[in-house]
């Protein structure tokens, strides 16, 4: 048995299980067990895997064939410049959230233009994807990560350890939206960014999302707006004078959330798109 023949077996098993991209996923699984990148597999293709990595492939394959998302099976997933640890306690970070993070960084830069050190809050941080990216990509920022789920924050803490020196500028706090934050931040936050739950209760979701991702990260009442409503209404009092709120949402919610932001007293409100051109975020400036 060589790594190449093992990879071929993995492709066959994934295809038989109905996985849509068996070749690509087999490369990821085998590379994870071999401790190399998928591109480096060609270099070891003729070598024989030892018992432990071969058993690791078998365990990952079994989980994937049972329907568990590839990201949880691998235990890590790329988000912007980060390789984040992920498991079933947190939402799998999505490409659209990378765009939301980019927009938050634009607001961070605007607030930091005069040499000010920006304070950024990532509400409902999950794996830490947004907030840890801000901390790593903007070295003058101070970042607060919050979540109501202690389980999610345990994952965020593991990822915090992985960002090196930037971790000294990050605080993690647990609680229900703004209740997690200390009172001294009232009126002092430059950018609040959030990808809250925004799926309407009962909306159909892909079977693997429904079965494997945490329900508390997904659903938000009959219109999916329960959490967005609270965040938009409470954000102005926490933001500094020139501060901004950046929230991710379902494309069908953009008009409603923009309206909520105007009603909350924000002076500039913009809808932004994701990489597929769909309305995906609202930026609201005080
Ligand atoms: C859609 S997930 C986003 C996770 C991560 N920010 C991302 O973009 O991948 C929403 C997150 O909000 C958290 N959450 C749900 N209700 C909350 C609440 N009332 N207060 C704070 N966080 C909450 C969930 O635990 C979950 O981690």
Would the pTM count as exceeding 0.85? yes
Q: How far is the CA of 215 from the centre of ligand 1 (A)?
A: 10
Determine the pLDDT at residue 114: 84
The verdict on 217 and 174 lying in the same domain is: yes
Residue 146 and residue 245 share a domain: yes
Task: Kindly give the distance from the C-alpha atom of residue 116 to the centroid of ligand 1, in angstroms, as a whole number.
Answer: 28
Q: Are both 132 and 265 inside the same structural domain?
A: yes
Please give the pLDDT value at position 122. 98
Same-domain status, 33 and 166: no
Q: Is residue 95 part of a domain?
A: yes
Does residue 74 lie within any of the structural domains? no
Q: Is residue 82 part of a domain?
A: no
Which residue among 103, 175, 197 is best mutated to probe the pocket of ligand 1, counting the most ligand atoms within 8 A of its Cβ?
197
Q: Residue 189's pLDDT band (boundaries 50, 70, 90)?
A: very high
CA angle 18, 127, 271 (to 5 degrees): 90
Residues forming beta bridges with residue 123, ordered by sequence position: 146, 194
Per-residue pLDDT of 130-169, as tens digits, reads: 999 999 999 999 999 999 999 999 999 999 999 999 999 9
Looking at residue 96, its pLDDT comes to 97
Same domain? 26 vs 136: no
Alpha helices in the chain, H assignment, sequence order: 3-16, 22-34, 41-44, 51-65, 70-74, 95-111, 129-137, 150-161, 207-212, 226-238, 254-263
**Maximum Cα–Cα distance for the chain, whole Å?**
66
Residue 252 confidence class, pLDDT cut points 50, 70, 90: very high
Whether the Cβ atoms of residue 85 and residue 158 lie closer than 8 Å to each other: yes
172 shares its domain with 55: no
Number of domains, the chain:
2
Same domain, 151 and 261: yes
Atom of ligand 1 nearest to the CA of 194: 6
Weakest-pLDDT range from 81-85, 110-114, 192-196, 273-277: 110-114
212-231 confidence digits (pLDDT tens): 999 999 999 999 999 999 99
Q: What are phi and psi of 14, to 5 degrees?
A: -65, -40
97 CA closest ligand 1 atom index:
8
Q: Does residue 84 sit within a domain? A: no
C-alpha of residue 124 to centroid of ligand 1, in Å: 3
Q: Give 115's pLDDT tier (boundaries 50, 70, 90).
A: confident
pLDDT tens profile 27-75: 999 999 999 999 999 999 999 999 999 999 999 999 999 999 999 999 9
For residue 79, the ligand 1 atom closest to its alpha carbon is 9
Nearest residue to 97 via CA among 229, 195, 233: 195
157 and 245 housed in the same domain: yes
pLDDT averaged over every residue in the chain = 97
Domain that holds residue 36: 3-67
Reply yes or no on whether the pLDDT at 198 is more than 90: yes
- Asked whether residue 156 is assigned to any structural domain, the reply reads yes
pLDDT at 129: 98
Distances in Å between the alpha carbon of 162 and those of 66, 93, 130, 159? Answer: 30, 16, 14, 5
- d(CA 228, CA 236) in angstroms, rounded, equals 13
Shared domain check, 106 and 41:
no
In a domain, 16, yes or no: yes
State whether 245 and 277 are in the same domain.
yes
């Amino acid at each position: 048995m060589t790594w190449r023949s093992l990879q071929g077996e993995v492709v066959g098993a994934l295809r038989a299980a109905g996985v849509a991209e068996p070749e690509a996923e087999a490369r990821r699984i085998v590379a994870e067990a071999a401790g190399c990148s998928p591109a480096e597999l060609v270099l070891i293709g003729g070598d024989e895997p030892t018992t432990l990595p071969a058993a690791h492939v078998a365990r990952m394959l079994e989980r994937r064939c049972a329907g568990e998302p590839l990201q949880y099976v691998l235990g890590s997933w790329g988000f912007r410049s980060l390789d984040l640890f992920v498991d079933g306690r947190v939402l799998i970070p999505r490409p659209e959230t990378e765009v939301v993070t980019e927009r938050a960084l634009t607001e961070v830069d605007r607030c930091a233009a005069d040499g000010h050190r920006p304070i950024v809050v990532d509400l409902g941080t999950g794996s830490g994807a947004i907030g840890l990216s801000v901390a790593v990509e903007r070295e003058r920022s101070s970042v607060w990560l919050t979540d109501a789920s202690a389980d999610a924050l345990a994952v965020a803490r593991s990822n915090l350890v992985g960002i090196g020196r930037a971790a000294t500028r990050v605080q993690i706090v647990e609680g229900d939206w703004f209740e997690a934050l200390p009172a001294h931040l009232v009126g002092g936050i430059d950018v609040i960014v959030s990808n809250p739950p925004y799926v309407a209760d009962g909306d159909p979701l892909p079977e693997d999302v429904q079965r494997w991702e945490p329900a508390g990260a997904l659903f938000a009442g009959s219109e999916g707006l329960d959490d967005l409503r609270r965040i938009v209404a409470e954000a102005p009092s926490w933001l500094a004078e020139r501060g901004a709120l950046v929230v991710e949402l379902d494309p069908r919610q953009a008009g409603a959330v923009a309206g909520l932001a105007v009603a909350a007293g924000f002076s500039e409100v913009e809808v932004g798109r994701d990489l597929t051109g769909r309305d995906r975020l609202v930026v609201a400036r005080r």
